[in-house]
C-alpha cells in the first residue's frame, strides 16, 4: 500500500467520504463524536419523540446546502494549499519570520486570554468589589506534526522549525482562527518550542510551540 493510500485511509473518515460523494448525505454519529472528544456519551432522555433506527445519528443532506465558504466573516481564507493526498488543508497556519513564510498545514491551535481584575474585599460583606482594569495578551498554543512524503527523516523541515523559533524579532501569524481574536494585530512572539521524543518513528515528528500577542501601543493616545 502506498503512503498516499495509508494516510487517506487513516485520515479520511466515513463522514468525509460520504460528504465527498456527489449528492450523498453525510452521516455523523453525535454520540461517537462526544465520546472521542470529551470521553462521554449523552444520556437517553425519556419522553422525546421516537427517532429513526439509530438514535445517535443525524443526517445532513449536502445537496441542499449552500456552497462551501472559503473565507471567514472577517475575510480570512479558511483553506490553504493542498496536502500530500490532494485535499485542501483546513485552517492552515503560516508564521512569517524575517520575511520568510513557514507553513504548517497539519496543526491544531488553541487560544487563551484572561482579564486583569482587582478584587477589593468589603468589611462585613460576603462579596468583593471587582474592578476590571484591562485584558492580558492572547496566548496561542500550536500542536502539529511534520511529515516526510517519502517516509524519510524530516530533517529539512525540523531545521526550518528551528530557524523560525530562533528568530529574535516579532513574527507575524496568519490563521483564520487567530485573525478572529487578534483582529488587525498579527504580531506575536514565539515563547517556547517542544519536539518530544518519538522512538522508532522515521518519517513523522510532532512538535508544539506557544506564541504571545505583541501589543502595538500608541502612547500618545493615553491621557
Question: Cell 463522514 maps to which residue?
Answer: 15
| pLDDT score, position 28 | 62
| pLDDT score, position 40 | 75
Residue 18 vs residues 8, 27, 33, 54: alpha-carbon distances, Å:
14, 7, 16, 17
Task: Looking at 69-200, list the stretches that DSSP marks H as alpha helix, in order from N- to C-terminal side.
Answer: 155-165, 176-182
Give the start-to-end residue ranges of the domains of the chain: 1-65, 70-221
| pLDDT score, position 107 | 87
For the chain, the average pLDDT equals 77
| pLDDT score, position 21 | 47
Instruction: Give the angle subtended at the CA of 130 by the CAs of 127 and 131, to the nearest 5°.
Output: 165
Per-residue pLDDT of the chain (223 residues; tens, 9 = 90+): 554 454 445 444 444 544 454 455 556 676 776 777 677 776 666 655 555 555 555 566 666 667 778 888 877 888 877 666 666 778 889 999 999 999 988 888 999 999 998 988 888 777 888 898 888 899 999 998 888 888 889 999 999 999 999 999 999 999 999 999 988 788 999 999 999 987 778 888 899 999 999 876 555 555 5
**Rounded CA gap, 180 and 140, in Å?**
13
| pLDDT score, position 30 | 67
Q: What is the pTM of this model?
A: 0.65
| pLDDT score, position 164 | 95
Instruction: Give the angle subtended at the CA of 76 by the CAs of 216 and 214, to the nearest 5°.
Output: 20
| pLDDT score, position 208 | 94
Chosen CATH of 70-221 out of 2.70.98.60, 2.60.40.10, 1.20.120.720, 2.40.30.200: 2.40.30.200
Question: Cell 518513528 maps to which residue?
Answer: 201
| pLDDT score, position 83 | 63
Amino acid at each position: 500500500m502506498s503512503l498516499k493510500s495509508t494516510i487517506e485511509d487513516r485520515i479520511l473518515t466515513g463522514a468525509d467520504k460520504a460528504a465527498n460523494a456527489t449528492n450523498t448525505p453525510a452521516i455523523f454519529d453525535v454520540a461517537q463524536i462526544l465520546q472521542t472528544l470529551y470521553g462521554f456519551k449523552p444520556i437517553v432522555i425519556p419522553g422525546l419523540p421516537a427517532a429513526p433506527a439509530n438514535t445517535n445519528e443525524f443526517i445532513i443532506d449536502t445537496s441542499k446546502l449552500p456552497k462551501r465558504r472559503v473565507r471567514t466573516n472577517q475575510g480570512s481564507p479558511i483553506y490553504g494549499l493542498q496536502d500530500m493526498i490532494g485535499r485542501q488543508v483546513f485552517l492552515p497556519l503560516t508564521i512569517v519570520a524575517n520575511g520568510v513564510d513557514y507553513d504548517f498545514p497539519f496543526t491544531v491551535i488553541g487560544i487563551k486570554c484572561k482579564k486583569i481584575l482587582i478584587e477589593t474585599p468589603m468589611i462585613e460583606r460576603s462579596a468583593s468589589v471587582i474592578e476590571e482594569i484591562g485584558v492580558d495578551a492572547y496566548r496561542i498554543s500550536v500542536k502539529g506534526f511534520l511529515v516526510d512524503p517519502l517516509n524519510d527523516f524530516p530533517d529539512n523541515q525540523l531545521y526550518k522549525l528551528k530557524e523560525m523559533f530562533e528568530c529574535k524579532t516579532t513574527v507575524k501569524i496568519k490563521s483564520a482562527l487567530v485573525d478572529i481574536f487578534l483582529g488587525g494585530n498579527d504580531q506575536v512572539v514565539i515563547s517556547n518550542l517542544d519536539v518530544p521524543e518519538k522512538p522508532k518513528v522515521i518519517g513523522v515528528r510532532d512538535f508544539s510551540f506557544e506564541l504571545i500577542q505583541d501589543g502595538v501601543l500608541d502612547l500618545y493616545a493615553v491621557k
